[in-house]
Amino acid sequence: MNERQRRAWVFVGCAMGLSWSYWGVLLALGLRVEAAGGADHPWVTHLPGLLGPALAAVVTARCFGGPGAGAAFLRRAWAHWPRPAWRGWVMALSPLGMGAALWCAWSLAGQPLPQSSAFWHFPGLPAQWGPWAVTLAVVLVNGVGEELGWRGYLTELLLQDHSRWATTWWVVLAWMLWHLPLFWLNESMAALVGPMLLGWALGLACGAFVLAQVYVWSGRSVAVVAIWHAAYNLVVATEAGHGTMAAVVSSGVMGWGCVTALRWWQQRDVP
């Protein structure tokens, strides 16, 4: 096992340890995160646990690189943004564009739109929070918290020894396992246990290929994939996105991911 492999194992173990510790405390207390819009326990949230991968990346970088390595990693991770700048924003906000187009089509078809507040009812966040607070929280915790680790650290590390196809599958396996406690903690994810679980696993795998491709296309920009991830979750995970919206957007992402996976499988020798 070379040093990069050791770093990868330490990162994955640290990410799970940090996230699972927080989620485990909530489970031990008998608490659950309600679906978007729930009001019984609005203060119970799984979101702090999503910071585990980002914190693990900094800890692992410092562990193997010594003092200053964690700060150096953060500087490198945020140093990239596509040129011209508009290209990065188009990539980063494409899930919101897809959602807006679908809601416009929905409205033109004469179907009623959800109440405006439903667009900001996000699982794990207080229902009374406004759009700016919800967006900022989701970008920082759900976007940066996950992507700084899974793409900015683990994907970047594995690409040095593996093809894009193999790298993404290793990330998929770690990412799936990391989610495990949420099937007991989060009501929205608990509802997937059963036949729908296979669909969730396929969706996550396809999403990993999409995020990996966005990461590569953007010149390995953590900021772009973090915003993309947050934008996607704001479309499909809010109260307004449940049902048809989530199904259509998720199907589009799954199709994109399958095409990417097939192309990268055919190019397995490409780093």
- What's the pLDDT tens digit per position in 88-140? 899 999 988 888 888 788 777 777 777 777 778 887 787 788 889 999 999 99
Q: Is the pLDDT of residue 200 over 90?
A: no
pLDDT of residue 211: 96
Which pair of structure tokens corresponds to residue 83? 């040129």
First to last CA, the chain: 20
Mean pLDDT on 155-183: 94
Which pair of structure tokens corresponds to residue 216? 């590569």
Task: Give the total residue count for the chain.
Answer: 271
Which pair of structure tokens corresponds to residue 222? 């953590």
Of 166, 173, 159, the closest CA to residue 264 belongs to 166
Q: How many angstroms from the chain centroid is the CA of residue 6?
A: 24
* pTM for the structure as a whole: 0.91
pLDDT of residue 37: 45
Which pair of structure tokens corresponds to residue 145? 């918290």
* CA gap 135, 145 in Å, rounded: 14
Query: Which strand (E) or helix (H) includes residue 167?
Result: helix 164-178
- Per-residue pLDDT tens over the stretch 182-191: 988 887 777 7
Token look-up 């994810």 returns 189
* CA gap 131, 121 in Å, rounded: 9
* CA gap 72, 95 in Å, rounded: 31
